[in-house]
Amino acid sequence: MSFRGKLWVLILSGVIAGYAVIGGLPAVGSLLTANAQQTVNDPNAQLKIVESVLDHIQNDYVDIPDMEKVRVGALRGLTSGLDPYSSYLTPEQAAEYTAGKADKTGIGAEFASVSGYLYVLSVAKGGPADKAGIKNGDVIEYIGSKATRDVQLYDAIHLVEGEPGSVVTLRVLRSGEKPQTIKVTRGEAKAQAPETKMESGRTGVVKVFSLDKGQAERVREAVNAVVKQGAQKIVLDLRAVAGGSLEEGVKVANLFIGSGALATEVGKDNKITKTYSADPSQVIFEGKTALVTNINTAGASEAIVAAFADHKRGAIVGERTFGAGSDQKFFPLSAGGGLLLTVAKWASPTGVPFFGEDRNSIGIKPSIEVKRGDTQDPDEVDTLLDKTAPQDPNQQVAPTPTPTPKPVVREDIQLKKAIEVLNSAA
């Protein structure tokens, strides 16, 4: 078999392995003519387009092409037309993925992809990123000399991670400020336990920081603590709680809701594939409750918000949530690489996913909107990029900031409103 033939087989192996899940090749509409819709829905026609492109590269490109790069680029192109969490993994990445990341660590931050760039959803309090000056809502333009717009989300996160104690250099874009280079020493960031305080009107406030495994139990302890202090109403602060597991989010919702579905997972054609139901024995608080959310409330925390919204359990005060939460499955390929594909989306009790392509329809809207504006909104990232990017990673920029306490504490109008709502007449 010719090298071109072998390459075509390798590309097809990737296409066929993921075809049942992804439903065909993406992003070919611009190549099609008047019969575009018919061609898009015809797998054979789509494969012929790819084969035609391969023929031209092999026969007409001015230089001798590196067909291995062509193959990798083709397979990455397939997943780039899907959601940010689906990726093609090279043989080296696939081997590392299946073996785990025991020798690597991150910087204590949760990331997403916004407008093709790496976006900081949340920063772990007291973690490496926090200590270095990274903030929620920052846009990471470069990781070292690599532009995040040129790589998949999986690759960008892979670049951020490394050996504990090593340093990663990030070029950060932040609204109202000049681009700056921040060096972060990689290391573990332990999940912080919820913080509690009492406010007026016997209102207990529980600030959640993480929904990683085991955190629901810590939320339970925090709720019990404010109740022991006399709380008759509770504000559950879910701002900048990103990532975590759906199961932990369900467990937290179950502390306040004792019947019916709390969350679902939906698969192809938006069909519900799994339902998480409430256990009445797990409820520990039935009093008035309000949630506080912002644009960085994402993933497992959105399950709590959706459950409260569907069950009308309490007011949701703040901003629309980010819109994230899905399950990925790894599909090994015969060529040694693999496909990491989204196979399910996390959804509300009624089966409405938090996550999707249209930023105008994803996430969960608050019942009472209160914008704070101290975090870079993902909807405004394009405007920020128009002003500041792309940049030369070697350009002289502001030095690494030294975090200093702010002399004036800004009033927390979102929390204030939530407390006001709880203390108002029923």
Give the model's pLDDT for residue 46: 77
Give the C-alpha separation, 77 to 74, whole Å.
Answer: 5
Distance (Å, rounded) from C-alpha 121 to C-alpha 71? 32
- For residue 362, how many C-alpha atoms fall within 13 Å in the half-sphere facing its CB? 20
Contact by Cβ (8 Å): 280, 259? yes
88: which strand partners?
Answer: 339
User: How do residues 334-346 score in pLDDT, each as one tens digit?
Assistant: 878 999 999 999 9
pLDDT reported for residue 21: 37
Local structure of 73: helix, strand or coil: helix
* Rounded Cα gap, residues 295 and 238, in angstroms: 10
Within a 13 Å sphere around the CA of 301, how many CA atoms are in the beta-carbon half? Answer: 32
Assigned token pair, 89? 């993994």
Q: What is the pLDDT of residue 22?
A: 38
pLDDT of the residue at 38: 56
Contacts of 20 (CB under 8 A, 6+ apart): none
CATH number, domain 98-189+382-387:
2.30.42.10
Domain boundaries, the chain: 3-82, 98-189+382-387, 195-327+342-373
Distance of CA 143 to the CA centre of its chain: 18
Helix (H) or strand (E) holding 336: none
Given the structure tokens 């909107």, which residue do they identify?
Answer: 369
Whole-number pLDDT of residue 105: 94
Please say whether the beta carbons of 175 and 385 come within 8 A.
Answer: no
pLDDT along the chain (426 residues), means of 10: 41 41 40 50 79 88 88 86 93 89 87 94 96 96 96 95 97 92 96 96 97 98 98 98 96 99 96 98 98 97 98 97 96 90 97 82 94 68 59 52 54 95 81
Which pLDDT does position 160 carry in this prediction?
98
Separation between Cα atoms, residue 122 and residue 127, nearest integer Å: 11
Does domain 195-327+342-373 fall into CATH 3.40.50.300? no
Dump pLDDT digits (tens) for 212-260. Answer: 999 999 999 999 999 999 999 999 999 999 989 999 999 999 999 999 9
In 42-126, at which residue ranges do the beta strands (DSSP E only) sit? 87-89, 109-114, 117-123
**Please, what's the b/e burial string for 232-246 (b: 16 or more CB within 10 A of its CB; e: otherwise)?**
ebbbbbbbbbbbbbb
Q: Are 24 and 30 in contact (CB under 8 A)?
A: no
Query: According to the model, what pLDDT value does residue 302 have?
Result: 98
